Amino acid sequence: MVRSTGSWARWLYSGALYLLSPLLWRRIWREQTPANPRKERLGFVPRHRGGAPCIWLHCASVGEVLAARPLIEALLDRYPHHRLVITTMTATGAERVRALILARGARLEHHFIPMDFPAATRRFIDRLAPTLAIFFETELWPNLLAACHRRGVPVIVANGRLSPRAYRGYRRLRPLMQDALSRVDWLAAKSSADAERFRALGMSAVRTEVVGSLKYDLSPTDEVATASKRLCTQLGSRPVWVAGSTHPGEDEQLLDAHARLRQHYPTALLILAPRHPQRFDAVADLCRERSLPAARRSRAELPDTRTAVYLGDTMGELLVLYGAADLAFVGGSLVPVGGHNLLEPAAMGVPVLTGPQLANFEDVALVLREAGALVEVNDGDELVDALLRLFDDEPERHRLAEAGQAVIAANRGALARTMGGLAVLLGG
């Protein structure tokens, strides 16, 4: 009966997609790279014609690709006779995967995920012919999951995450989500709260396991550590703080806070790294409007003593930028976005500051908070106060950094548990 109800729900869902297709195509049209023909959005990927078996991993965008990096590395190392195909929804995610391809070689491939039309998803699965499908975090596409089931492809949801906000949205579509989750062979949830929300949508408790968050298995590479140390040396002994993954409405608050900080520390430098590359030029304009001289990393410009802002307008270097600073503010948290990865600066040994909007990282924030490894502010005024206090207190900065690294060390292990469950479905 579940499948029957779900089939009707999926039929209605597919009809709505077709009706909305002009708007969807308009949105997708912007998410393009020269290496990916737009026909990939209809499932036209190169046809698998034998050879190395394929493991397929889907990550929505750049944030998920970065969070999945430990899993990607482990898959490449553990299964040397498989090819790993990563799909993304966004062009920024595609560029991040392309950087991994340059680092890891030919066994790693990238395609855009097809739009969730029934024919497009069937075509994609038939052509790709994966031996295992891994969906990262909250990517639940009903027709794509049905296409996997039709072809007998085992499905894993890795680092399964379902925020309260996402759960409320999915709950309105429970028959559809119950049908989608019935196609999942194993859900590796990152917390018991996430697991419970998935079960409330219809996920089988028997096929759900709490493994922890893969984000704790983040290990900066030697190349990242070296580049970060080099940048730190280039910036000199001035006070430096970084604001990473920032959003509209937040950059203005951060720049205003930095201007006030410079009244007390005239040589202070803000490394500002907007979340989305299409905003790089707009944020550079904001710096000019506020008379804050800026250097741009994309132009190989290095800050001098007059520079107030170093614009991190490159992709894939956020860890490098975090590690070069004395303090790190994680964006998406002064505006209602839900925050971003609080563990990235902690992994680089840098004290972590955040705003109040943490819906996407409540579990991580709780662990850091309980360990005394998180500085939380409600607005720009409190951020200035926190920056002044911490720049005046070097021992406290060291304590926060050590506490953050201790949290990461104590919570590692999700990767090993995920790889163990994946091995069962792959047959060894």
Instruction: Return phi, psi of residue 36, to 5°.
Output: -120, 110
Contacts of 246 (CB under 8 A, 6+ apart): 254, 272, 273, 274, 275, 283, 331, 332
Radius of gyration over alpha carbons of the chain, in Å?
22
Q: Is 64 a catalytic residue?
A: yes
Element (H, E) at 209: strand 208-210
What string of DSSP letters covers 142-195? HHHHHHHHHHT--EEEEEE---HHHHHHHHTTHHHHHHHHTT-SEEEESSHHHH
Q: How far is CA 217 from CA 64, 149, 199, 325, 417, in A?
A: 14, 30, 25, 22, 11
Q: Containing H/E element for 83?
A: strand 83-88
* Cβ neighbours for 158, distance < 8 A, ≥ 6 positions apart: 57, 68, 71, 134, 135, 136, 137, 188, 214, 418, 422
DSSP code, position 22: H
Alpha carbons 45 and 86: distance in angstroms, whole number:
12
Count of C-beta atoms within a 10 Å radius of residue 315: 16
CA–CA dist 290, 259 (Å, integer): 8
Q: Are 10 and 175 in contact (CB under 8 A)?
A: no
| Helix and strand totals (H; E) in the chain | 18, 14
Q: Which of 40, 64, 95, 250 is catalytic?
A: 64
Residues taking part in catalysis: 64
